[in-house]
Structure 1
Amino acid sequence: GYEGQGPDHSSARPERFLQMCAQDNMTVAMPTLPSNYFHLLRWQVHNPHHKPLIVFTPKSMLRLKAAASSIEEFTTGGFRPVIGDTSVKPENVRKVVFCAGKLFYDLDA
């Protein structure tokens, strides 16, 4: 991005913030689902240990139908730090790949 050129021209890189994390001094999150983003914000408000929350949300997921949440997902449950892929049977899994945010939908396509 163009550093110092305003919010429309900056590029946030997760690795930059992860390098700055030391001794649990901040939370870096990349929620994949709207309901998980909602529960993350609720968790931040109710967390007794106040620390900065850095959230990465790509614009490409705003209108992505696969990244939608039902109303029930907002009203039940809580923040899920890891979300498994339910489209694959556990006995068919040979490799586990951890990914975050929109990368899951890119790999799933």
Structure 2
Amino acid sequence: MNQDEEMFTVSNSSLSEFGVLGFELGYSMENPNSLVIWEAQFGDFANGAHVIFDNFLSSGEAKWLRQTGLVVLLPHGYDGQGPEHSSARLERFLQMADDNPYVIPEMDPTLRKQIQECNLQIVNVTTPANFFHVLRRQIHREFRKPLIVMSPKNLLRSKACRSNLSEFDDVQGHPGFDKQGTRFKRLIKDQNDHSDLEEGIRRLVLCSGKVCSTHIHNLS
């Protein structure tokens, strides 16, 4: 390997969600400039590690003033794989988040205070480019926050789930905020034209897992 290249390490681990996630959490705090990712084969496997989520990941910064940028991938999709292969229990992680549910945050990408003040980030990314940027900003930020990714495996295999190369462009200047299309998008609007209906819309329903991936398959 060239000395100028960054190191990428993939390690197999023992089948102990509690032990391995705890190790990765500690490693991410000792190496804040490393992108540390723990992936469950299916999101349900987080069940064996909820002590780590409850007592350390969700409240560690408030208790001990220690930040972590640990990324946890919990595929969540009801894909018909049987017990413990369906739901990452998105609602449980949303309940652990201390964000104010009655305050709608600003969409301006330069206003980062909302993320700095909350304890968790929970996302359901639906495009390769958005997945790339949500991981990229974990390192480029001047602070660290845990990231929970709920995207279903089914979606990753969909032919409709694709991004143009231009959406991965390098960003000039301040990372993540200069050029439209080259940063993480918190909300991606439906590409179909609903301008004739938008004025009368009163409720927005956010879906995840199988509901989301099935909808995208139908669009293709």
Percent identity of paired positions between Structure 1 and Structure 2: 35
Question: Cα RMSD over matched residues?
Answer: 2.7
- Greater Cα radius of gyration, structure 1 or 2: 2
Q: Which amino acid aligns with 2:188?
A: I
Distance verdict in 2 for CA 1:105–1:57, change over 3 Å: closer
Distance verdict in 2 for CA 1:77–1:84, change over 3 Å: same
Equivalent residue for 2:143, pick from 45, 49, 59: 49
Partner of 2:89: 13
- Give the drift of 1:90: 1.3
Unaligned segments of structure 2, at least 5 residues: 1-43, 49-73, 75-83, 100-117, 170-180
Q: How many angstroms apart in 2 are the aligned matches of 1:89 and 1:37?
A: 26
- TM-score if structure 1 supplies the norm length? 0.78
Please say if residues 31 and 101 of structure 1, whose CA atoms lie closer than 8 Å, have aligned partners that are also in contact.
Answer: no
Partner of 1:67: 161
- Give the drift of 1:100: 4.0
Distance verdict in 2 for CA 1:101–1:77, change over 3 Å: farther
1:98 and 2:205 equivalent?
Answer: yes
Q: How many angstroms apart in 2 are the aligned matches of 1:77 and 1:100?
A: 24
Question: What is the DSSP-based 3-state SS (H/G/I as helix, E as strand, rest coil) of the residue aligned with 2:122?
Answer: strand
Distance verdict in 2 for CA 1:84–1:101, change over 3 Å: same
Question: What count of residue pairs does the alignment treat as equivalent?
Answer: 107
1:79 and 2:184 equivalent?
Answer: yes
Partner of 1:35: 129
Question: What is the DSSP-based 3-state SS (H/G/I as helix, E as strand, rest coil) of the residue aligned with 2:148?
Answer: strand
Please say if residues 32 and 100 of structure 1, whose CA atoms lie closer than 8 Å, have aligned partners that are also in contact.
Answer: no
- Give the drift of 1:52: 0.9
Q: How many angstroms apart in 2 are the aligned matches of 1:98 and 1:29?
A: 15
Higher relative contact order (CA 8 A, sep 6+): 1
Q: How many angstroms apart in 2 are the aligned matches of 1:62 and 1:52?
A: 22
Please say if residues 122 and 149 of structure 2, whose CA atoms lie closer than 8 Å, have aligned partners that are also in contact.
Answer: yes
- Give the drift of 1:30: 0.8
Q: How many angstroms apart in 2 are the aligned matches of 1:68 and 1:51?
A: 27
Q: How many angstroms apart in 2 are the aligned matches of 1:90 and 1:105?
A: 24
Q: Which amino acid aligns with 2:135?
A: L
